[in-house]
Amino acid sequence: MPGADGQVGHELLAALAPLGELIPATRAGVLADGGTCLRADLADADALRAALDDARADLIVNAAAHTGVDRAEDEPALADRVNHLAVGEIGAWAAAHGARVLHYSTDYVFDGSATCAYREDDATAPLGVYGRSKLAGEQALRASGASHLILRTAWVYAARGHNFLRTMLRLAAEREELRVVADQVGAPTPAHWIARASAQMLAQWQGEPGLYHLVAGGQASWHDFASAVIAGAHARGLIAHAPRVLPITSAHYPTRAQRPARSVLDCTRLKRAFGLELADWRTGLDEVLDQLARC
């Protein structure tokens, strides 16, 4: 399982354990708790091939990715290597060895111009290097001939790691006022929900290829999400005071990479195929904040 030290990967360690023997893998061969594991560096084709040969897995769960959306604009070759070429290599190995692949993709394959939620078969039009590399990875996995599941998710966060929620909590301790973009809309989705749903899907999956959207219910702007984070964290005593959260436009917060304005994903196909429907994003936020409050 490449990416075992990431947000989703860390949650998968527990969620997938009941399904059988798990071989976690990270780029450096070290887990978040300091323990050692298989080294699988997707930026290094030879190292990736060696890891696949060593593990001899019958199911490969790829939770690794180059996720630095802005950084990808400055290192497109690395983003393409990790998010595209390596995924194709995983697929080719799986096809040759009769293995299956579960791979995660992103809402950034869309340009965000739609007025309704995106379905899996809607036209893709990524705005930047990150989205293009992830879309190319999807295409490479499909072309590999491997039995695969591709799960597109979005706005992922957790109680650990680098994510929007943790950034808001850090800034809340430093500032009296937070200015947050209000004209980008999506569905904040906790990593542990993604991991849990992945395990439930794998328990049912018969091996047929499929592309599914997997995000929390409802929708929110980054400003909505930030406001809920601050209010919930203050109520739980995670922050000493609640700074004002003011809405701004994307034009007032320029970034290296352009983001989709509206990347809400339709998860109807997931519900029909697997009977899965994630709860509203606010419920997920409450669970993550409760987890932080217990620490």
**Among residues 130, 157, 212, 253, which one is catalytic?**
130
| pLDDT cut 90: percent of the chain above it | 97
If one counts every other C-beta atom within 10 angstroms of the C-beta of residue 167, the result is 14
pLDDT score of 36: 94
Retrieve residue 292's tokens. 């932080």
Terminal alpha carbon distance of the chain: 27
Average pLDDT, the chain: 96
Tens of pLDDT, residue by residue over 44-73, are: 999 999 999 999 999 999 999 999 999 999
* Three-state SS at 120: coil
Please compute the mean of the pLDDT values over residues 263-272 and round it to a whole number: 97
| pLDDT band with cut points at 50, 70 and 90 for residue 169 | very high
pLDDT score of 32: 84
Outline where DSSP puts E strands in 75-125.
Answer: 100-106
- Measured CA to CA in angstroms, residue 38 lies from 1, 26, 29, 35, 167 at distances of 9, 7, 5, 10, 30
Outline where DSSP puts E strands in 46-93.
Answer: 59-62
Q: What is the pTM of this model?
A: 0.96
Active site residue 118: no
Q: Which helix (H) or strand (E) holds 72?
A: helix 69-74
Please compute the mean of the pLDDT values over residues 168-179 and round it to a whole number: 96
Contacts 24+ apart (CB under 8 A), 74-80: 74/256, 76/129, 76/133, 78/43, 79/129, 79/130, 79/133, 80/129, 80/133, 80/136
pLDDT score of 33: 85
Residues 6+ apart with CB under 8 A from 199: 12, 15, 16, 18, 19
Residue 205 pLDDT greater than 90, yes or no: yes
pLDDT score of 226: 98
pLDDT score of 295: 84
Q: Maximum CA pair distance of the chain? A: 57
DSSP letters of 160-189? SSS-HHHHHHHHHTT-SEEEEE-S-EE--E
Q: How far is CA 38 from the centre of its chain?
A: 21
Tens of pLDDT, residue by residue over 132-159, are: 999 999 999 999 999 999 999 999 999 9
Tens of pLDDT, residue by residue over 124-134, are: 999 999 999 99
Residue 103 pLDDT greater than 90, yes or no: yes
| pLDDT cut 70: percent of the chain above it | 100
Q: 53, 41 in Cβ contact below 8 A?
A: no
Residue carrying structure tokens 């809400």 = 264
